[in-house]
Homo-oligomer: A and B are copies of this chain.
Amino acid sequence: MTSGERHDPGRSGRGVPGVRPPGPAEPPARGRRAGGRRAGDSGTREAIGEAARAQFAEHGYHGATIRGIAAAAGVDPALVHHYYGTKEALFAAAMRIPVVPSEVLTAALSGREAGGPGFGAHLVRTALTLWESDGIKETFLALLRSAVTSDQASVMLREFISDSILSTVARLTGLDKQGSPAEAEYRAAMVATQMLGLALTRLVLGLPAVAGASVDELAASVGPSVERYLAGDIELPPRLARPKRPARPRGSA
C-alpha cells in the first residue's frame, strides 16, 4: 500500500469527480441498473456473474455476448441487462473491478481537451487515484496474474483494455476525430505503455521511488509524457499517417 491511505472519499478533490468512490471488492452484486429492486434474487444475479466469468474466459471480451452469457446462466438476456447494464459493466463486475472504467474516465475527462494544459497530469492523477481505491490493487494483481499465467486470460484482458479503456480515452480526447483510426489506436496504446508501467512498478513491484511518491508528484512527472502521446508531435509509424499528414511533413518548422 503505497502512499498508504484508506481515506475517506470526500477528502479534497482527490476523489475522481462524478464517480461514486468504489467500495471494497464485491461480488457482482452491485445491480447498477436494478433501480429500486430489492436484492432478493441475488442467486440469479450471481449465476449471471458466474456465467459471465466463464464466457469471458472462454470467448474473450470480444467474443462473449450478453445473449451467450444469458443462455449459459439460463436466463433471459433482458435480465442480464437489467442487473448489469452494459457488457462492460458486466465484465467489470465479473472481474471484481469495483468501477466501470469508461464511466470513471468519462466523468474525469469529459469537457477537457487532450491538448489542453495539464491534461496529461489530470489523466495520470485520475488513474492513480482510482488505483488507490479499496479493492483495485487486488483486482489489478488478479487480472495481471491471470494474464501472465494464461494466454486466454491475456487475450481477454487485452481485448477489454483495447475495446473499453483505450477506445474511451480516444473518444474522450478527440483522438478518434483527428488522424486515422489507426493513429488514434497507436496513440492510445502509447498511453497504455506508460500507464500500465506505472501500475506495474507502483502496485506490483513497489519500486521505492514510484511507490513512495504521491499521486500529485507522479502526475506532474509523468503527465507530460501522456500528453505527448495523446496530442503531441510524436513520431508515428509511417503506415499510420494517412488522412491528416499527406506526405508527413517531418521536420517542418
Contacts and interface: CB of A to CB of B under 8 A. Distances in A.
B197 A195 contact: yes
Contacts of A200: 193, 196-197, 200
Oligomer copy total: 2
Main secondary structure of the interface of A (DSSP, over half): helix
A162 B99 CA distance: 33
A139 interface: no
Given A194-B193, A213-B237, A206 B154 contact: yes
Q: Which 4 A-B pairs have the closest CB atoms?
A: A197-B197, A189-B209, A220-B235, A225-B225
Contact of A192 (B182, B185, B210): B210
A145 interface: yes
A201 B165 CA distance: 14
A141 B235 CA distance: 29
A62 to B, nearest CB: 12
Contacts of A114: none
A100 interface: no
A158 interface: yes
28 contacts: A144-B144, A144-B148, A145-B145, A147-B204, A154-B204, A154-B206, A158-B205, A158-B207, A162-B207, A185-B208, A186-B213, A189-B209, A189-B210, A190-B209, A192-B197, A193-B197, A193-B198, A194-B225, A196-B200, A196-B205, A197-B197, A197-B198, A197-B200, A200-B200, A221-B235, A221-B236, A225-B225, A225-B228
